[in-house]
Amino acid sequence: MLSEGTSSSSAFERGWTYDVFLSFRGEDTRRSFTGFLYHGLRQSGINVFIDDDKLRRGEELSLALLGAIEESRIAIIVFSQNYASSTWCLDELAKILECYKTRGQLVWPVFFHVDPSEVRHQRGSFGTAMAKHEVRFKGNVEKLQRWKRALFEAANFSGWTLENGYEFQLIQEIIKEASKKLNHTILHIAEYPVGIETRISEVMPLLHIEPGEDIRVIGIYGLGGIGKTTIAGAIYNLIANQFEATSFLADIRESTNQRQGLVQLQESLLFDTVGDKNIKLGSIYKGIPIIKKRLCCKKVLLIIDDVDKLEQLQALAGGRDWFGFGSVIIITTRDKHLLAAHQVDKAYEVKKLNHGEAFELFTWSAFKRKAPDAGYLEICNRVVLYAEGLPLALKVMGSNLFGKTVAEWKSALGKYEKIPSKEVQNVLRVTYDNLEENEKEIFLDVACFFKGETVEYVEKTLQACGFYPTFGISVLIDRSLVSIDEYNRLRMHDLIQDMGREIVREVSPIEPGKRSRLWYHEDVFEVLTENTGTCRIQGMMVDLPDDYMVHLKDDSFKKMKNLKILIVRNGHFFGSPQHLPNNLRLLDWMKYPSSLPSSFQPKKLVVLNLSGSRFTMQEPFKYLDSLTSMDLSSCELLTKLPEISRVPNLTELNLDYCTNLEEVHESVGFLEKLVEFRAYGCTKLKVFPSAIRLTSLRSLILNWCSSLQNFPAILGKMDNLMSISIEGTGIKELPPSIGNLVGLQELSMTSCLSLKELPHNFDMLQSLTNLDMDGCPQLRNFLTKLTNMGESTHTFDNIQSLNLENCGLIDEDLPIIFNSFPKLASVVLSGNNFVALPSCIQECPCLELLHLDNCKKLQEIPAFPPNMQYINARNCTSLTAESSNLLLNKETFEGWELQVMVPGTRVPAWFDHVTKGEYMTFWVREKFPAIIICFVLAVESEMKKIFNCEIRFYINGEEVYELEIPRGFSDMVTDHVWLYDLRTHSSIHWPSLDLYLMDGWNQVEISCEKISGASNVTVSWCGVHVCKQEANMKDILLTDPDSDLDSESEKSTRSTLDSQYCKRVDDNSYILNNLEGCETPDIAACHTGTDQNQDKNLLHEKTLNGVTKDSMLSLPHEDIGGVKASGSNILVSDHPVKAQPQSQVTSFIQTPQNSGSSTMVLPTTVDFLENQTSLLTIDDGDMEAFYAVLDDEISQVSLNNDSIVVSELANKRPSEETKKALKTLQDYVTKQFSALLGPDEYSTMKDTLEYLTNLPAEDEISVEIRSLIIQVSRQFTHWSRDYTCENKKIESTTAKLLKADELEKCLEANKTHFKEVMCMENELCNELAYLEERKRELEEQTNAVKANISASQAAKNMATQRKREVFGEAKILKAQRDELREQVPHLRDEQELAKKIQSNIRDEWSKLGEKFNYGLRHGKFD
């Protein structure tokens, strides 16, 4: 979410001071090319920065010049012969390349009579200039490299080369390109673009062109006013400079409604992308081929905003071949179906703003700043909740309320809630206006009556009203007017609902009786009490406040002849209607005041819900031909359900909690379309159909019909019946015809105490998967029958779930169960009497869940099935240590991924990390490890309530996952250990947790939090074990990586102590051993303690050597609060916010009453050890007070014994030196303890105590005094060390607190730096994308050249081959020629002869012709 509206806007609307920055060598081009280019750009209205000689002072660029480069949108670099000779130019070039990378500046090189390769590789004049710079700046290699790199990179940009052409023509081309680029660069986004950045980050990955794609087409859809155009515009601003041509076509819907609207849009598209102002298309059919031809080779960014018809897309972006490679098309619309019809690659739905984003946007709009004024917070929250995250509504209402008083705000909000803002409604209503009539009516019904109802219920009702709801609702979903939640219920934004209701209200603002739908309680009350209803009313929902009383008249509903929907949710009625409209399709009237009117003949009624009504029915049901659902639940006056055969289409019949119902008519058993029958809790029901043939029935529920004794016979096969529940009934037997239920999957017979046996053909239920016989001990004989069938009979191969809780099972029953139900996945054996599980349980390959809770005689669990995942052994208090250890040992959890609940008080010792309390903390990096967690549930007294909890995961203080535990734990009689291998929970997606990890170490906290249930249950200990085969232990720390580590000597000492004084009892606990002579042993156990019931301990504690139950060695002990066991990674702490380094807090132990003994009592109870851990949190004041009390006690002891001491001294006469020492000691023990730790006082005290403790026997001091001196000496030694240690700890913690403050500041700085780096990363990503695109273009050019080479090579080969063929033909021709050449003289003679003969023939023929003609003329014939 963007934090500041004004500053955030700049992220998407970057402002530039200058349009163009010109970099050039003045002596080369200032008075020629560059000068002409500068004036040409200025005349075109482009703001150009060109430096002058005044700015060029010294060797470095001035701040003004640097600022000008940074604030320029385009940098044009004119490379001329002497460009590189100027260090000034080279610095400019380096700065320009920096701005290209960091600010997205466009870089255009112009090679003015220079070959680009000379610039790229520093040859020619550029090589000469750089060689001179290398001599001049030989000590500044970094600068030289920066210049060379800048020259190389700049020469690789696309630009212009001028050699022999016309300068004027090139200048015009540059001006044209600059104008086009600057014209489409920036779009206004929003005054306060709150939340834009988050949504853009979600859209940007969708723009990536996948392999095999040439272009990318995505859609952005959502509710009107949700921010689709804003998001598209922001994306346009961010990526526009990556494309050859761009176009943002806004308001397509409105533009299309104008004359020649689509044609004008096509012309706008062509103008934006190719810059042709003179294109006149005339029709969309002319425009399509022109767009395709002109853009097919261009990389185009095209935004098509607010599309509502498919033909708009077909005219503007009809095919993927219209645009060049790398093009991106973004379509915004309110209609999701349009995107699917156009076959977009990805579609993004714009979600509403969350509360924080909505609150920020509203306060910016209403107060022009981020925080509201004093006194406005509550009303601001009301407005934000009303707007429900719609940006348009938040901005409009914020602007309207700006500068108003709180009273005016409240008044305006009241108006908005009843009559919505026109400005908001006009935007939202556009979608409604574009709907067909069927969808409009469905939308209005949902807005007025059905928001929050199930889709099935709504579709059934609306179909009866003559609509087509399945298609209509899908259209509303596509248009973002409604949605369906995870519970299959219809959801609608409150403002959309208000819009729909306002459409209805506008028809008749003054007279509600003339509207089509009524829902507002005041309007409904007016119509019913004043009898102003009309035939225009089609639907009514009555939901009145409790203080409203409606006096119904006989004809209250008589005028509403077209009423189809009547819903009564709440209302107090006096009287009852004597007339109901026969046109009703839905009658949903909870607590209907009487029976239905006799004149009521609703032949089209589909749903009848009279739950909790005073409804009675003695006569057969009539005129209900269309009825499909009847709910008569909780009708306490209903004693008989009469004949129902004239309701042939009934699919649902609900009679739950009709507590006086005694009889259900036989006709119910023959309703062919009945799908569900419910009669839960009908305790007086005795008469039920003796036989049923319900071919469509899927569910039959008769739970707790305790008077029902007979189950109906099954007439014929009933393939569809899947579930039967007869819990708590008085049924005595199941009929043999139950075998006809061939599709039955679930059968529940809980607490059917009257059911003596199961039918002999029970094995015919081949589809049965779930069988529940909880609380039916009399059915044990069923197991005997299974035994008699023999092992070869696999009667119940399909049963996967079996509940035999409280069935009185004994050991001999269990093998029968596991052998007869070979595919069990879940079995409940709770509350039974067996002592041991059979070994054959390990041969059940499918078994995953095993419930053994409250099997209080159970002692032995020999083995597990191979795929076991969950074992509940709650309250199995007789389990042997071996069985408990089997459930909890490390080898079990290495072989199985398990959840286990078992009595116990300790976290197993193989856990890597243990803490006191309900949560644990550790540190990870790189990857979240697979772990097993453990919680110890402490029960103060026997628990009767269900205890529900949830496990929460926090990473770096942020809750990232919440694991709800579906099972409740109840009736625990003792403490329990709960082990949970999280790999068994399929909903935990470990890679998703990795997404929350940052670089370096991440703090992970896992807690078990009670959400409901018994108050006497607490989580006393918790632990975590890392599955090392799936984790890298180098990436896991069990202590804070920021904590100061112990010195090497301390580590060595502690390691030695650990190895000397820790001895392992078994796999699950540690004990203390061989403590004698040890001054500061560590307590090496996860947590020491004894169960209240010692003979039923889960983990039996061995007796400590030389230690009785009431006392231990006389040495003070340390590390009660923080204990580390040898050879283990276990660290126990008193539940700090972060796991802290081990603490060394001494336990203060009372002096034994036997003053003659030097031993001290070290209690061993868990309570004592746990209480001592609280010392970890003692502050300095507490310690000072504690020692002050001790000082007072010592003073009292000294004063009380003063007379004794004087008496002893009088009798025994100690030496003067001893008297002086005793006097010194007496003075010192009355001082504050902290005063004794000064260098002089401490030295004096030590010397005095050393002298007094080593007095010779002849120095007559009583035994009591000697004992007291020894005690003071020992305590002073220990306490002085501890007090000093605590002082150091205070200094250390103070330093750490200061460090924490510094780290907090560093973290804030780090956050700022992170955002800067992230921005840089995004820009580098853009640069990389450009380079990748450039690379792709070059590769395409390379491939084209390679293709030309291949084609030329092939042509050359063909020419060579043809040459050889021609040469062969030439040889043949030559041979033929040579052959003919020898015959040439003869042939010529023949030719001459032939010619002569032809000539003679012609002469003779001519003579003959003349002779013939002569003869004809003279009539003579020879």
- 130-147: buried (b, 16+ CB within 10 Å) or exposed (e) per residue? beebeeeeeeeeeebebb
Burial of residue 1031, with CB atoms counted within 10 A of its CB: 0-12 exposed, 13-18 middle, 19 or more buried: middle
Strand partners, 969: 947
Cα separation, 817 vs 805, whole angstroms = 13
Residue 106 corresponds to which tokens in the numbers above?
A: 């466009």
Residues recognised as catalytic? 92
Q: Residues 585, 563: contact at Cβ < 8 Å?
A: no
Q: Which of 487, 464, 484, 461 is nearest to 473 (CA)?
A: 484
Alpha-carbon span 445 to 462, nearest angstrom: 8
What residues contact residue 245 under an 8 Å CB cut-off, 6+ apart?
272, 273, 274, 295, 298, 299, 300, 301
Q: Is 201 exposed, middle or buried (0-12, 13-18, 19+ CB in 10 A)?
A: exposed
What distance in Å separates the CA atoms of residue 1269 and residue 1256, rounded to the nearest whole number?
14
Structure tokens at 563: 């009423």
Which residue is listed with tokens 């500053």? 7
Instruction: Measure the CA–CA gap between 863 and 860, rounded to whole angstroms.
Output: 9
Alpha-carbon distance 537 to 563, whole Å? 6
Tell me, rounded to whole angstroms, the distance of Cα 1098 from its chain centroid.
40
Asked if residue 95 lies in contact with residue 64, where contact means CB atoms within 8 angstroms, the answer is: no
Q: What are phi and psi of 1073, to 5 degrees?
A: -155, 150
Query: What is the strand order of the sheet 245-249 is part of?
Result: 245-249, 300-307, 328-333, 216-221, 346-349
β-strand partners of 246: 301
Residues contacting residue 294 through CB under 8 Å, at least 6 positions apart: 270, 273, 274
| 395's tokens | 């901005």
Question: Both ends of the chain: CA-CA distance in Å?
Answer: 131
Nearest alpha-carbon partner for 501 in 428, 412, 550, 437: 428
Among the listed residues 1405, 1189, 1163, the one whose alpha carbon sits nearest the alpha carbon of residue 1279: 1189
The SS3 of residue 350 is coil
Residue with structure tokens 């209402």? Answer: 397
What are the b/e assignments for 981-999, b being 16+ CB within 10 Å? bbbbeeebeeeebeebbee
Measured CA to CA, the distance from residue 449 to residue 471 in angstroms comes to 19
Neighbours of 901 (CB within 10 A): 26
849: Cβ contacts below 8 Å, ≥ 6 apart: 825, 826, 827, 869, 870
Query: Using an 8 Å Cβ cutoff, are 371 and 406 in contact?
Result: no
Rounded Cα–Cα distance for residues 878 and 856 (Å) = 6
CA distance 1313 to 523: 59
DSSP letters along 1097-1143, please?
-SSPPPPPTT--SS---SS--B-SSSEE-TTS--EE-S--SSPPPPP
